[in-house]
């Protein structure tokens, strides 16, 4: 056996030993746009959560000698100040912390509801499936933005309730995706084997159905987070989201739009941070979809 044959055998052994997730990770890191986006997201998240500890000012500190101060390196206000003399860079980082937190937590709430709802509907089928999907279609017919606004008006403008309010209307698409995947999975041989072995429906759903939905769920999470951040920003823009003294990118963009003619930096810099974040999350979602979906290769 020559070296060429040994090399072929070694390559085959390596390929055989790789799992689906290892192959998916390899394909993901071959996607340059996704890799750059991952770096940018981690950088923005790190700066948002830890950056304020290394800066001179707090997000609520006022400098009355530097009202509407333009971006400068002279007095520490690198991105300028607002109408109350508050440092814009610190407020952008605090706003990023809140926007990312709302985006992630509201997405987790919607995924939790959607996965449970869609799995039950798809697995049990029949009249239960028909009824549950009719409910989804009715909710789809309602303008979800108006529904969120009504929830915020009725229950109050609480930052913690904002997570639940947004997540409560974003789960519909997740439920439909999970239902379709569950209908396909429940006909597989390993599900039939589990039933024959006497496993309960709950154990089959928990041990076999949901783990096999991990791929679509992960991809959808990366695509849902940007939409949740946009929704939160729009609510804050309307004055129904994050309230002072807290801030988010939506609040900063709303404030900047009112001062755009006299203090352009109040709109431009929060907009840049938010645009980079949303674009990066979308590139990551596209990369994960291409990496996980075996039909792409």
Block residue for tokens 């020559």: 2
pLDDT for the residue 152: 67
- The overall average pLDDT reported for the chain is 77
Spacing of C-alpha 54 from chain mean position: 27
Q: Of 287, 286, 278, 284, which Cα lies nearest the Cα of 44?
A: 278
CA 171-238-113 angle, to 5 degrees, is 10
Widest pairwise Cα distance in the chain: 81
81: closest CA among 97, 99, 47, 58?
58
Q: Does the domain spanning 37-51+78-296 belong to CATH 3.40.50.300?
A: no
Domain boundaries defined on the chain: 37-51+78-296
pTM (predicted TM-score): 0.74
Q: Which of 228-242, 259-273, 283-297 has the highest mean pLDDT?
A: 259-273
Lowest mean pLDDT of 34-48, 52-66, 273-287, name the range.
52-66
**Other C-beta atoms within 10 Å of 266: how many?**
25
Name the most confidently modeled range: 92-96, 184-188, 259-263, 289-293: 92-96
Please name which of 216, 215, 248, 111 lies closest in space to residue 166, comparing C-alpha atoms. 111
Q: 87: which strand partners?
A: 81
Q: Is the pLDDT higher at 160 or at 108?
A: 108
Q: Answer yes or no: are the C-beta atoms of 87 and 61 closer than 8 Å.
A: yes
Neighbours of 21 (CB within 10 A): 13
């Amino acid at each position: 056996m020559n070296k060429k044959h040994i090399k072929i055998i070694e390559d085959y052994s390596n390929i055989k030993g790789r799992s689906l997730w290892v192959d998916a990770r390899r394909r993901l890191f071959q996607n340059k746009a996704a890799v750059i986006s991952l770096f940018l997201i981690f950088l923005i998240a790190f700066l948002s959560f830890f950056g304020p500890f290394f800066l001179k000012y707090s997000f609520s500190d006022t400098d009355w000698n530097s009202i509407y101060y333009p971006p400068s390196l002279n007095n520490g206000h690198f991105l300028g100040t607002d109408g109350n003399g508050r440092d814009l860079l610190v407020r952008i980082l605090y706003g990023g912390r809140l926007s990312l937190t709302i985006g992630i937590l509201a997405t987790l709430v919607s995924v939790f509801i959607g996965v449970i709802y869609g799995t039950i509907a798809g697995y049990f089928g029949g009249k239960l499936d028909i009824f549950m999907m009719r409910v989804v279609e009715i909710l789809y017919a309602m303008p979800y933005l108006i529904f969120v606004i009504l929830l915020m008006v009725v229950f109050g403008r609480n930052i913690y309730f904002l997570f639940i309010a947004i997540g409560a209307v974003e789960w519909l698409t997740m439920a439909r995706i999970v239902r379709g995947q569950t209908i396909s999975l429940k006909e597989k041989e390993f599900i039939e084997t589990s039933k024959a072995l006497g496993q309960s429906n709950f154990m089959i759903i928990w041990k076999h159905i949901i783990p096999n939905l991990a791929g679509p769920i992960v991809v959808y999470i990366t695509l849902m987070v940007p939409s949740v951040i946009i929704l939160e920003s729009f609510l804050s823009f309307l004055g129904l989201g994050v309230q002072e003294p807290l801030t988010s990118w939506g609040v900063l963009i709303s404030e900047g739009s009112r001062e755009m003619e006299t203090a352009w930096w109040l709109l431009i810099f929060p907009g840049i941070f938010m645009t980079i974040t949303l674009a990066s999350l979308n590139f990551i979602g596209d990369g994960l979809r291409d990496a996980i979906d075996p039909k792409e290769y």
